[in-house]
């Protein structure tokens, strides 16, 4: 999925080597990738815990002349070289001049990050990104992109009531996106690499979430979504188009979806963006119509999503995630509406991570996913007027898809091990680079926010 569609999907957000490390962290903060447009923001639960900013650098020799432009601690903007590697999108090269606006406490309040890039599949392109962290309770953003060939996108999102200090919380998303990179390998837990196909995914989506805050920990949440999806022939010359190998798979051409979902949320996390302790459990059920209104094409969903965080020491957090999703009713569902595994991010009620494979690697009616990672801060660097914590994060992902509701979810699991690098600019922004290895080799993902 292209950046405009996924970059906002989960918006909440020493020594001679320091400038290089800070630039790498900034690149991670600004190179948005995969929460899918199918699954927007989970409205969080509790007020953030403000942590003291690290002490400023004690260096007494400020950069001057041209050198100040290449030192993230003194440059008017951060010139971030962009090198993005994705299993589906290939290697993208570019430059991101990044402006960070901070407040008197050194906390990021706004990010402006245009870029110019080159991708071998789609040619030259440009992005425009504006992320505004108005307060801990209100945030908004706009992301747009266009490339020489095939791809273009626009994503706007607004959130209010994040802290649940009032009775209601709201999130609204508007997405228009055309993406030439998606893959489809067939349906089932044992699909093979040689069945890989490509398609062009064009979609328009409007979604709103309304949360009734019963307390800081408990919320009753309604999600309404209207989506139009066009699955068009692929454009990558070295990969067969989906219509070639799977001419009869449901979901080709134009399909419509109207989703109504009700969730019960229990959330005791100590922070919205950088949690160090607490849990979040979401139990949900919904009905989706494929004809645009409620009719005989309805299908149902039910699932549970859990996340837990334990502070082992001041600089180390153990994080775990588990998700189970069922589609108990409905026939001839579009393949893109099935449960799926693959990619670098978890979306409640949507795709789940398997960081050794590309997005949508495995599709079927039901899915199970689990992840564990150890987030350890290894250093802090100065960048412009803020501070960025660098984290080293080994992780493990497992998961499977299945079609029979009687299947034991914990068998025949796909397994991935990997190592992540995170840049954390408290209190709102997290960027990540995750490198995972599975049965089909290595995969690299970058994006905003933690994967879960």
Alpha carbon distance 325, 348 (integer Å): 9
Structure tokens at 49: 């815990």
Average pLDDT of span 357-361 = 94
Q: How high is the pLDDT of residue 105?
A: 80
pLDDT band at 268 (very low <50, low <70, confident <90, very high): very high
Alpha carbon distance 84, 444 (integer Å): 8
- Between 274 and 19, where is the model more confident? 274
Q: How high is the pLDDT of residue 385?
A: 65
Whether 25 shows a pLDDT value over 70: the answer reads: no
State pLDDT tens for residues 390-426: 999 999 999 999 999 899 999 999 999 999 999 898 8
State pLDDT tens for residues 114-145: 999 999 999 999 999 999 999 889 999 999 99
Average pLDDT of span 213-241 = 95
Q: How high is the pLDDT of residue 36?
A: 34
DSSP letter assigned to residue 42: P
Mean pLDDT (the chain, rounded)? 84
Structure tokens at 148: 């020489």
How many structural domains are present in the chain? 1
For 138, list phi and psi in degrees, rounded to 5. -140, 130
Whether 91 shows a pLDDT value over 50: the answer reads: yes
pLDDT band at 32 (very low <50, low <70, confident <90, very high): very low
Alpha carbon distance 114, 99 (integer Å): 9
Whether 382 shows a pLDDT value over 90: the answer reads: no
Give me the domain span that covers residue 168: 3-58+65-448
For 42, list phi and psi in degrees, rounded to 5. -85, 125
Q: How high is the pLDDT of residue 178?
A: 97
Q: How high is the pLDDT of residue 77?
A: 67
State pLDDT tens for residues 156-191: 999 999 988 899 999 999 999 999 999 999 999 999
CATH of the domain at 104: 2.40.160.50
Angle 11-449-107 from CA coordinates, rounded to 5°: 80
Alpha carbon distance 287, 304 (integer Å): 16
Average pLDDT of span 103-121 = 88
Most confident of 40-49, 103-112, 187-196: 187-196
In 268-407, beta strands by DSSP E:
278-289, 299-313, 316-329, 339-341, 362-364, 366-383, 386-402
- Between 76 and 323, where is the model more confident? 323
DSSP letter assigned to residue 242: H
Q: How high is the pLDDT of residue 42?
A: 37
């Amino acid at each position: 999925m292209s950046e405009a569609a996924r970059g906002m999907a989960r918006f909440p957000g020493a020594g001679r080597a320091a400038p290089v490390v800070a630039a790498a962290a900034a690149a991670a903060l600004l190179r948005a990738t995969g929460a899918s447009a199918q699954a927007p923001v989970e409205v969080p639960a509790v007020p953030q815990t403000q942590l003291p900013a690290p002490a400023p650098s004690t260096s007494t020799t400020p950069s001057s002349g041209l050198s100040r432009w290449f030192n993230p601690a003194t440059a008017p903007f951060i010139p971030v070289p962009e090198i993005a590697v994705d299993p589906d999108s290939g290697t993208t090269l570019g430059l991101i001049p990044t402006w960070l606006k901070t407040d008197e406490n050194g906390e990021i309040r706004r990010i402006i990050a245009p870029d110019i890039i080159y991708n071998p599949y789609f040619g030259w392109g440009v992005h425009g990104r504006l992320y505004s962290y108005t307060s801990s309770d209100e945030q908004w953003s706009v992301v747009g992109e266009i490339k020489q060939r095939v791809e273009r996108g626009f994503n706007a999102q607004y959130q209010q009531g994040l802290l649940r200090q009032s009775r209601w919380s709201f999130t609204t998303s508007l997405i228009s996106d055309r993406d030439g990179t998606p893959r489809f390998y067939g349906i089932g837990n044992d699909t093979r690499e040689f069945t890989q196909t490509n398609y062009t995914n064009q979609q328009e989506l409007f979604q709103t979430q309304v949360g009734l805050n019963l307390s800081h920990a408990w919320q009753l949440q309604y999600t309404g979504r209207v989506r139009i999806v066009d699955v068009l022939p692929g454009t990558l010359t070295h990969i067969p188009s989906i219509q070639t190998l799977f001419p009869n798979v449901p979901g080709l051409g134009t399909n419509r979806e109207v989703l109504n979902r009700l969730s019960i949320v229990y959330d005791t996390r100590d922070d919205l963006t950088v949690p160090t302790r607490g849990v979040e459990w979401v139990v949900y059920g919904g009905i989706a119509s494929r004809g645009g209104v409620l009719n005989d094409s309805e299908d149902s969903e039910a699932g549970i999503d859990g996340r837990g965080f334990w502070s082992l020491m001041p600089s180390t957090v153990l994080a775990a995630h588990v998700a189970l999703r069922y589609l108990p009713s409905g026939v001839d569902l579009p393949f893109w509406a099935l449960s799926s595994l693959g990619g670098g991010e978890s979306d409640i009620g949507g795709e789940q991570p398997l960081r050794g494979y590309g997005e949508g690697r495995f599709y079927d009616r039901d899915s199970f996913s689990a992840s564990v990672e150890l987030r350890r801060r290894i250093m802090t660097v100065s960048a412009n007027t803020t501070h960025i914590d660098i984290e080293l994060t080994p992780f493990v992902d497992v998961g499977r898809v299945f079609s029979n509701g009687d299947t034991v979810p914990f068998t025949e699991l796909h397994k991935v091990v990997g190592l992540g690098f995170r840049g954390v600019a408290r209190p709102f922004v997290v960027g990540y680079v995750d490198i995972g290895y599975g049965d089909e080799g290595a995969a690299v993902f970058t994006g905003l926010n933690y994967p879960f």
